[in-house]
Amino acid sequence: MMKTIFALVLLMISATAWAQLPAADAIPTSKGDLKVQPLNHATLALTWNGKTIYADPYGGAKTFTGIATPDLIIISDIHGDHFDPATLDTLDLAKAIIVAPQAVIDKMSDKLKAKAVAIGNGQTISKLDISITAVPMYNLPESAESRHTKGRGNGYVLKFGDKSVYISGDTSGVPEMRALKNIDAAFVCMNLPYTMDINEAASAVLEFKPKIVYPYHYRGQNGFSDTEAFKKLVNAGDAKIDVRLRDWYSVK
């Protein structure tokens, strides 16, 4: 009897944690729906073609309650809200491939290094039938003292069948972002003083014109960026862009 009650309590706790998450979105592709699950700050899960992808896993195991174990993990940069070894150590990585910049791999344990594949700015590789292109992410104006220097970290363009998804990582509205073409969904950062303000982010989005844009990574030094205002800026410039506001901070 006690075991049954304990099991029910665990189930209720799990269900409560899962209920905190915003609902997953579905984006149709030529090989079935791409499921998009916002999680925490820069962290998201993508599910496609029977595979689960984690981007910048952070925040501990609780972040991934109810989500399948990862087949692929992409990491953008060395900072703790993107490369979080403590979180990685709590996850079941038995089948996972980790794709990351060399600067991140250099900081990994030997156990993680054995699963890692390096990719640098401008390079494209393919894993699990997913094309992965590393896009430069860095602060403007460029400086050796900036938080994010060019060449160290990666944004990513992932190709899922006929759909392309851009994940910005920590960046300003750099020329490489503005030059992107045929992006179906984009995750764009906006938090001062680390990345962009909403005006710079909206300006960049209006140049590369993704069909869907998710503002993410929007907690800055002085709290949350005004994502509603970002949406208004983007849609004032192009009403066709689908700006999707989701809660990236519901997992505590």
Give the model's pLDDT for residue 251.
Answer: 67
Give the model's pLDDT for residue 146.
Answer: 81
pLDDT in tens, 176-230: 999 999 999 999 999 999 999 999 999 999 999 999 999 999 998 889 999 999 9
Measured CA to CA, the distance from residue 22 to residue 29 in angstroms comes to: 22
β-bridge pairing 153-160 and 130-137: antiparallel
Among 1.10.3720.10, 3.60.15.10, 1.20.1740.10, 3.40.50.1100, what is the CATH number of 23-243?
3.60.15.10
HSE-up of 207 (CA within 13 Å, CB side)? 13
Give the model's pLDDT for residue 5.
Answer: 40
Measured CA to CA, the distance from residue 37 to residue 174 in angstroms comes to: 26
pTM attached to this predicted model: 0.91
Give the model's pLDDT for residue 186.
Answer: 98
Residues in the chain with pLDDT values less than 50: 1-19
β-bridge pairing 34-40 and 43-48: antiparallel
Give the model's pLDDT for residue 142.
Answer: 81
Measured CA to CA, the distance from residue 163 to residue 181 in angstroms comes to: 12
